Structure 1
Amino acid sequence: MDIAEVLTLADQLIFAKTGKHLDYVQDAILRGTLEDATYTQIAQEVYSSPSHVRNVGSDLWKTLSKGLKKNITKNNFRAVLEKGIVYNYQSAIVENIRGESITVNNKVNVCPEKVRSPKTPQNPEPTAKQPRIDLGDAPEISTFFDRKSELTTLENWILSRTRLITILGLSGIGKTALTLQLIPQIQHEFDCIIWRSLHNAPPLQILQTDIIQSCRGGAPVPALSVPEEGATTGGLPQKERATTGGLPLQYLRSHRCLIILDDVQTIFSSQQLAGNYQPGYENYGTFFKQIVESCHNSCLILISWEKPREIAALENQQKNCQTLQLNGLGEATREIFIEKGLLQSEKWSELIDLYQGNPLWLNTVAAAIQDLFSGKVSEFLSYDSLVLGDLEYLLNKHFQRLSDSEKQVMSWLANQNKPVEISKKPALLELSPSEFLKAVESLRRRLLIEKVQKGDRTLFAVQRAIAEYLNS
């Protein structure tokens, strides 16, 4: 049984019915089914949840069933193949995108360009490009909420050849889940897709070597040669070029690659203003700048709690550099409360507002409500102050990174009853006007304060959960 031929046939049929090629999850389901793997085992291979893989599989079998006019399921797919039904299913006439159909040599021709005369040579449908996908550092995501508009925005940026995309958001907001959901939609645009986490703050050269080795399918990476001091290449000293991106850029030019870097905030210094690199990590900034300004067709996605300092200036080149700020979800997060078995659904909207629709925050709070109040939301809400519980640990990771000036500004904002203007520095803060404004700007980059527009007035505030944490 030729798995490659099965996948090619399935890809052509899916394309004929949907206008889209097999994505990497569908590919893994077909391969896994042929190897008698369970949905749970397949989910582990693609770093997804069993429920998501099961849902994708259900849609896949329905599409194959319609195309072959035969009931196809995960349980009978191998049997169908062994009977030769996929290859020699003479009575099945598969419709192409325009509703035309044809069978050739007793085989199903699922995606003919048009019905041709038997004398006309047939050009076979090109095999779908199967990118090399390395999601070695990607976490498993059990739940994904509706982010259709954000997915469309990211897909459009990638199709328009944006070179660097930054996805910003507080912890738990869904940045990683969104990016994992994006991969199946755009994978056929790339030769290889690589996911790496910067959680352990790898030096740039080690990261680049790892990425290139993955691009080369595990082959050893050629050594970087550094000419004599003072030699230049491409406007940069060769020594700097060798340590910031000379060799990786060669691969980004010769291959269309998607590189995803998660946890980018870990290469920035704590207790300093946002976006300041740790000592020895400044070359990351040069690398990001090169990605935007150099000529290539690849794309780098950064996932971070805070924006790198270079990005603000690079965003002026809108075609090459874009930023997506991910905010909280609305009513879609009710799924969390259903899963946790919370009661009194009429109170759920209040919970969503209090915790700004952050999926992780709401999941944490819902678990506490179930444990402490047997799922009764009204009893939880009866407390005068906002209950944080385990959420304090999550917020503490953000506040450990703040500078002294940022802490002063956050404390001041947390004690305001409503959004306030910053046209004048508060007298009680022991900061110069310049230090005050820099702190506000830095907190905005960290997404810890919100800007509220009221008419021609620009006001600032902190979310209630964050204010409660600061005042606790």
Structure 2
Amino acid sequence: MDIAAALKLADDLVFVQTGKRLDYVQEAILRGTLKKRTYTQIAKEVYSSSSHVRNVGSELWKILSEGLGENITKASLKPILEKGTFYNYQFAIVENVTGENITVNKNVNICSKKARSPATPQNPQPTAKQPRIDLGDAPEILTFYDSLRDSFASRTSQLTTLENWILASRTRLISILGLAGSGKSAIALQLIPQIHHQFDCIIWRSLRHSPPLSALETDLIKFLGDRQPTELPSIIEYLRSHRCLIVLDDVQTIFSSGQLAGNYKPGYENYGTFFKQIGESCHNSCLVLLSWEKPREIAALEGDHKNCQTLQLNGLGESARELFTEKGLLESENWSELIELYKGNPLWLNIVSTIIQDLFDGKVSAFLSYDSLVLGDLEYLLHQHFQRLSESEKQVISWLANQTAAVEISNKPRNLELSPSEFLKALESLRRRLLIEKVQTDECTLFSVQRAIAEYVKTNIK
């Protein structure tokens, strides 16, 4: 049996059992299984985690097993197909739908409950949507870390928050903010399989090459509307008539370097108008922005919690232990200190874990014995953030990095050659870039810099 025929028959069987059609993850699992691919390989194709694909697969095999009256597993699917059971099933549903049980040759009962014909279902249930999906610009995510032990800031909790905003609150504009390596793309890609059935179209585009807004809009409309260039409506028109999910990655690349956060490059100011229009206009869709820094329009629109929301990603917390285990690090009693030093950033911890394994044979205590924090390749990542700073921001973050504890800002430091207004603007800009942290106490608000960032500043900014 060829793959197309197998998918068609599996789709019919799943519909008879559940009233729903195969979704794109289930279809990818079936197709990959028939091509002898692993769950990890299939997960890469659908931009999801191996664990999620494995769970979907387990449920799919259960549905097929109940329908066929045979134990279907990833390993047994192809032999059962070759044996012809699916062919018998096809004959049964075409010829023997009685509204009760469906049977095949040898008196095998393949459906213990009232069956639905794939062509003319009795008492049909709503069919799950099969959206058109284009994730061509999405990065490859190999692992999605999470842990119930870190429930306050866990990725599962954050996924639930995003899902509620998009599906329950119908939020139109969402920004997911985080430093390089914090997991913005990973959480967005993990979210898509959970909500894809609610959309007509899903598209992921990266702004890493700073496309002009006109080029981006044309690209989006061509895909969303499946139209030829001569028939393009406005993007808002299409977002109103269809339910679309648009993810724009690397949004920080359309902002200017050397200026305060949120200032657009010359010629890119219309992106601000576009974001504002998406947030304020009445439509059925959602735009998700992934960025190192918050666009100014987002800050202005956040007063309306229903239409615009921001999720700032924190570190993995204790769930980072899963990463250390995979890397083969030793001395688990020291792992919490390592997580705190690098604030649980997944990519940062991955870089540091590689250093510990290569230079210290996995011994965390030997790595921590150094007086200064080791950055390694993390220095290059931080350089990408710091080359974007204005001169006033560099002064302020240098001052903060050299403090021994979090400080209050009721008065501008005398040694900074900035006016009070410039000082406060620089602080606010650094907050939007996520480079400084706010510490709330009973008496006042304090500000500080992460240890890794402070180490970079002391070494590279004079």
With structure 2 as the length reference, what TM-score do the two structures score? 0.86
Please give the alpha-carbon distance, in whole angstroms, between the structure 2 residues aligned to 1:275 and 1:21.
Answer: 44
Amino acid at match of 1:10: V
Counterpart residue number, 1:434:
421
1:24, CA displacement in angstroms? 2.9
Segments of 5+ residues of structure 2 without an aligned counterpart are: 91-98, 147-154
Q: Which stretch shifts more, 169-178 or 47-56? A: 47-56
Residue identity (%): 71
Amino acid at match of 1:197: S
Amino acid at match of 2:386: F
1:75, CA displacement in angstroms? 2.8
Counterpart residue number, 2:250:
263
Please point out which of 390, 401, 411 is paired with 1:414: 401
1:36, CA displacement in angstroms? 5.2
Please point out which of 222, 234, 238 is paired with 2:230: 222
Q: 1:131 to 1:344 in 2, by over 3 A?
A: same
Q: 1:467 to 1:207 in 2, by over 3 A?
A: same
Deviations 1:22-54 (A, max 9, x none): 553222112333455554653443234667645
Q: 1:394 to 1:11 in 2, by over 3 A?
A: farther
SS class of match (1:179):
helix
Deviations 1:152-183 (A, max 9, x none): 00000111211111101111111100000000
1:212, CA displacement in angstroms? 1.3
1:172 aligns with 2:187: no
SS class of match (1:222):
helix
Please point out which of 390, 412, 430 is paired with 1:403: 390
Q: Give 1:74-93 correspondences, 5 Å limit.
A: 74-81=74-81, 83=83, 85=85
Please give the alpha-carbon distance, in whole angstroms, between the structure 1 residues aligned to 2:180 and 2:247.
Answer: 17
Counterpart residue number, 1:154:
162
Amino acid at match of 1:122: Q
1:389 aligns with 2:376: yes
Q: 1:370 to 1:56 in 2, by over 3 A?
A: farther
Q: Is the 8 A contact 2:67 2:110 kept in 1?
A: no
1:128 aligns with 2:128: yes
Q: 1:110 to 1:356 in 2, by over 3 A?
A: farther
Please give the alpha-carbon distance, in whole angstroms, between the structure 1 residues aligned to 2:102 and 2:66.
Answer: 19
1:128, CA displacement in angstroms? 2.2
Q: 1:210 to 1:110 in 2, by over 3 A?
A: farther
1:283 aligns with 2:281: no
Segments of 5+ residues of structure 1 without an aligned counterpart are: 91-100, 115-120, 225-245
Q: 1:66 to 1:123 in 2, by over 3 A?
A: closer
1:213, CA displacement in angstroms? 1.5
Q: Which stretch shifts more, 396-405 or 101-110? A: 101-110
Please give the alpha-carbon distance, in whole angstroms, between the structure 2 residues aligned to 1:66 and 1:418.
Answer: 62
Counterpart residue number, 2:440:
453
Q: 1:69 to 1:348 in 2, by over 3 A?
A: farther
Counterpart residue number, 1:3:
7
Please give the alpha-carbon distance, in whole angstroms, between the structure 1 residues aligned to 2:16 and 2:285.
Answer: 26
Please give the alpha-carbon distance, in whole angstroms, between the structure 1 residues aligned to 2:103 and 2:64.
Answer: 21
Q: Is the 8 A contact 1:86 1:108 kept in 2?
A: no
Amino acid at match of 1:156: N
Counterpart residue number, 1:188:
197
Q: 1:344 to 1:62 in 2, by over 3 A?
A: farther
Please give the alpha-carbon distance, in whole angstroms, between the structure 2 residues aligned to 1:148 and 1:381.
Answer: 30
Counterpart residue number, 1:341:
328
Please give the alpha-carbon distance, in whole angstroms, between the structure 2 residues aligned to 1:36 and 1:344.
Answer: 38
SS class of match (1:300):
strand
Higher fraction of helix = 2
Aligned residues: 431
1:11, CA displacement in angstroms? 5.4
1:27 aligns with 2:27: yes
Please give the alpha-carbon distance, in whole angstroms, between the structure 2 residues aligned to 1:426 and 1:433.
Answer: 9
Q: Is the 8 A contact 2:65 2:71 kept in 1?
A: yes
Q: Is the 8 A contact 2:7 2:27 kept in 1?
A: no
Alignment RMSD (CA, Å): 2.7
Deviations 1:333-379 (A, max 9, x none): 11111111111111111100111011111000000011111111111
Please give the alpha-carbon distance, in whole angstroms, between the structure 2 residues aligned to 1:438 and 1:199.
Answer: 27
